[in-house]
Amino acid sequence: MTTEIRVPVLGESITEATIGKWFKAVGEAITEGEPIVELETDKVTLEVPAPAGGALVEISVAEGETIDVGGLLGTINEGAAGAAAKTSPTPVEVTAPVAAPASAPAVQAPVTAGGMPLSPAVEKLVKENNLDASQITGTGKDGRLVKGDVLAFLSSGGAAAPVAAAPAAPSGPRPKSEREERVRMTRLRKRIAERLKEAQNTAAMLTTFNEVDMTAVMAARSTYRDAFEKKHGVRLGFMSFFVKACVLALQELPAVNAEIEGDDIVYKDYYDIGVAVGTPNGLVVPVLRDADELGFADVEKNIGELGRKARDGKLTLEEMNGGTFTITNGGVYGSLMSTPILNPPQSGILGMHKIQQRPMAVGNNIELRPMMYLAMSYDHRIVDGREAVTFLVRVKECLEDPQRIMLDL
């Protein structure tokens, strides 16, 4: 009996998706629930699980093609043995899927982008270095890879194929052996690009700066680190302080928490703070719901979980929709100062940066203090200068004296 694999409902406003990657090839055995294909939408990438076990007998849409919600992705022959199951690791470190040959070998051999088999020496190098053979230019007969091609790729710092479970790591420099490399833009990146331009083109975006002495926050962290972790099972980071400080400031300056919709300004009585996370696929912003009601521990826990999901590519659309304000942190990458870009349709975004010891005037003395520059970009159409500056001052005050958060001052 055959079962169809159809595109599931993806989210309220999502009507179509692009096929990112097929994890299984025609003829392969599948177990029910096993992810068989990856779909890319504007907001998120998700995996479609097999509706039944058996053999994949047909792939109806190829990688890179677009399909509507409810469209036919492929067909499974239930219960059929299919080609002998693959025992080696996921296709991520192998390459462009090749239909399993009729004689069904136990393991799918790695191939180049052109579908050429790899010679023994090349195969060994590719496997040992976790390379994606399809990303290396072949200079051999008919575009095959020769050993020299792989050696050149490795010596020029060619990166291992991005493995799904790895944390966001900066990708390697482009191989020296090519002057150019053409890589298809993922759907996610395209959408990010569109939204960034949209933000720039729509809002009257400005940035205001301030600086904060992180001594108090750091003191609180070091004093209560062990007790906090012991009680709450999660580390006391910086983000909880920043989120709570921002919530306080947003409550005082509601325009920053509002958005423009047509001719209206929509003020919101809830505080859903987006926390930007960098992943190999691009920047994603999962949202902390009702941050005003969360305690420090809950903030840390939720952020930890959302960050993990983001890097694994497992965020759902609901988790990324509807934020009212965003916090982004360039400091982890070493940024001292920057002008963050708004996350439309929001009207404000706080940029955190690197904490660096600087000589500061304290009373009549000069002392080294751990300082962080704060940046707040805002939509000047509904947030005026005074509000923006005050917002940032308020955040600074709460951070420099965290008791204010407790006292709602």
Is-catalytic flag, 380? yes
Say whether residue 304 binds other proteins (CB under 8 A): no
Q: Which stretch binds other proteins (CB under 8 A): 25-33, 88-96, 118-126, 163-171?
A: 118-126
Consecutive H or E run containing 199: helix 187-202
Four-residue CA torsion sign, 18, 21, 27, 29: negative
Residue 232 among the catalytic residues: no
Q: Is 140 in the site for other proteins (CB under 8 A)?
A: yes
Cα distance between residue 196 and residue 287, in whole Å? 18
Q: Which of 152, 234, 383, 405 binds other proteins (CB under 8 A)?
A: 152
Minimum CB–partner distance for residue 342 and other proteins (Å): 51
Q: Which is nearer to other proteins, 141 or 179 (CB)?
A: 141
End-to-end Cα spacing for the chain: 67
Distances (CA, A) of 62 to 97, 191, 327: 10, 21, 38
Using the contact rule CB under 8 A, the part of the chain among 53-61, 113-121, 126-134, 347-355 near other proteins is 113-121
Nearby residues of 402 by Cβ (< 8 Å), 6 or more positions away: 216, 217, 220, 241
- Interface with other proteins (CB under 8 A), residue from 6, 21, 127, 147: 147
Nearer to other proteins, 149 or 213 (CB): 149
Of 104, 106, 107, 151, which one interacts with other proteins (CB under 8 A)?
151
- Does 173 help bind other proteins (rule: CB under 8 A)? no
Please tell me whether residue 381 binds other proteins under the rule CB under 8 A.
Answer: no
| In contact, 36 and 30? CB cutoff 8 Å | yes
According to CB under 8 A, which one of 6, 21, 127, 144 is a site residue for other proteins? 144
Give the number of other Cβ atoms within 10 Å of residue 100's Cβ: 19
Residue 25: name the closest of 74, 89, 81, 80 by CA: 74
In the complex with other proteins, the residue whose CB is nearer, 33 or 115, is 115
Stretch that binds other proteins, among 47-55, 114-122, 251-259, 358-366 (CB under 8 A): 114-122
| CB-based burial, 224-254: b 16+ in 10 Å, e otherwise | eeeebeeeeebebebbbbbbbbbbbbbeebe
**Minimum distance from CB of 112 to other proteins (Å)?**
13
Give yes or no for residue 119 binding other proteins (CB under 8 A).
Answer: yes
Q: Is 120 in the site for other proteins (CB under 8 A)?
A: yes
CA distance 362 to 390: 22
Taking a C-beta distance cutoff of 8 angstroms, is the pair 321, 310 a contact? no
Q: Which of 155, 357 has the CB closer to other proteins?
A: 155
Main-chain phi, psi angles of 132, to 5 degrees:
-100, 100
- The residues that bridge with 209 in the sheet, in sequence order, are 375
- Rounded Cα distance, 178 and 99, in Å: 29
Catalytic residue chosen out of the listed positions 213, 384, 401, 408: 384
Nearest approach, Cβ of residue 106 and other proteins (Å) = 18
For residue 316, state whether it binds other proteins (rule: CB under 8 A): no
Q: Which of 64, 79, 114, 148 binds other proteins (CB under 8 A)?
A: 148
Residues that bind other proteins (CB under 8 A): 119-122, 124, 139-141, 144, 146-148, 151-152
Residues with catalytic roles = 380, 384
